[in-house]
Amino acid sequence: PAFTDYQAESATISQGVVEANHAGYTGTGFVNYDNVTGSYVQFTVSVTAAGSYPLTLRYANGTTVDRPMDVTVNGAPAAPGLSFPGTGAWPTWAEKTVTATLAAGTNTVRATATTVNGGPNLDRLRVTAPSDSQPPTA
């Protein structure tokens, strides 16, 4: 299916740093969330047609402790407390997908850490078209 990738290192970052010291990321690196509640990465996502889009976050969590995040779209909850469990090691990446409604035009998708451990390391957001007839546009 058609999709568009948005790299975390190119997104708006609040309380986090871009790093590239763990292999397996896409693009030029990933975001290491500061280990604080409220740290976030916010993506600007544009689609031509309103609809329900799978949003896939690619992440790594080298600890054994979940790093849940609130996912919001245009400020509204889309996936509160979404779980980002341990992936076994920092260079081991996994994906979590939620489906959310996007408006035609520009949307903001924000993933905010909800615990003092901060978020997982975040590689990218992939936005998949609801159908091949409605490809997202970058």
Structure tokens at 109: 């998708």
Q: Is 118 in the site for ligand GCU (CB under 6 A)?
A: yes
Number of residues engaging ligand GCU in binding (CB under 6 A):
6
22 lies in the site for ligand GCU, by CB under 6 A: yes
When asked if residue 32 is in the footprint of ligand GCU (CB under 6 A), the reply is: yes
CB of 34 to ligand GCU, least distance (A): 8
Q: Rounded to whole angstroms, how far apart are CA atoms 69 and 122?
A: 11
Site for ligand GCU, residues 52 to 81, rule: CB under 6 A: none
Q: What is the DSSP string of 18-38?
A: EE--STT-STT-EEEE-SSTT
Burial (CB < 10 A; 0-12, 13-18, 19+), residue 65, is: exposed
Does 121 bind ligand GCU (CB under 6 A)? Our answer is yes
Binding residues for ligand GCU, per CB under 6 A?
22, 32, 35, 90, 118, 121
